[in-house]
Amino acid sequence: MTTENTNTPSRRRVLSGLAALPLVSIGSSRARSAEFVLKYATGQDPTHPVNLRAAEAIARIREATGGRVEINLFPANQLGSDTDLISQARSGGIEILNISSSVLATLVPSCGMLNTGFAFPDYDHVWKAMDGAFGDHVRAQIVKSGLFVTDKIWNNGFRQVSSSTRKITSPDSIKGFKIRVPVAPMLTSLFQSLGASPTPINFNEVYSALQTKIVEGQENALPLIYTTKLYEVQNSISMTDHVWDGFWVVGNRRSFAGLPANLRDIVVKEIDRSAIEQRQDVVKLSNTLRADLQTKGITFVDVDRAAFRDTLGKSGFYKSWQAKFGDELWNKLQDVVGPL
Give the model confidence (pLDDT) of 237-254 as tens digits. Answer: 999 999 999 999 999 999
User: Can you name the CATH fold of 160-242+292-337?
Assistant: D-Maltodextrin-Binding Protein; domain 2 (3.40.190)
Residue 83 region by backbone torsions, left for phi larger than 0, else alpha for psi between -120 and 50, else beta? alpha
262 or 31: which leads in pLDDT: 262
| pTM, full prediction | 0.90
Q: Which of 233, 81, 225, 236 has its CA nearest to residue 158?
A: 225
The domain spans of the chain are 11-156+246-287, 160-242+292-337
Report the alpha-carbon distance of residue 50 to residue 82 in Å, rounded.
15
What residues does 250 pair with on adjacent strands? 97, 149
159-196: pLDDT as tens digits: 999 999 999 999 999 999 999 999 999 999 999 999 99
Contact in structure between 98 and 153 (CB atoms under 8 Å)? no
Q: Residue 305's CB: how many other CB atoms inside 10 A?
A: 15
How does residue 32 score in pLDDT terms, banded at 50, 70 and 90?
low
Helix 305-315 to helix 317-325 angle (10° resolution) is 70
What architecture (CATH level 2) is domain 11-156+246-287? 3-Layer(aba) Sandwich (3.40)
Mean per-residue pLDDT of the chain = 92
270-314: pLDDT as tens digits: 999 999 999 999 999 999 999 999 999 999 999 999 999 999 999
Can 11-156+246-287 and 160-242+292-337 be said to share one CATH topology? yes
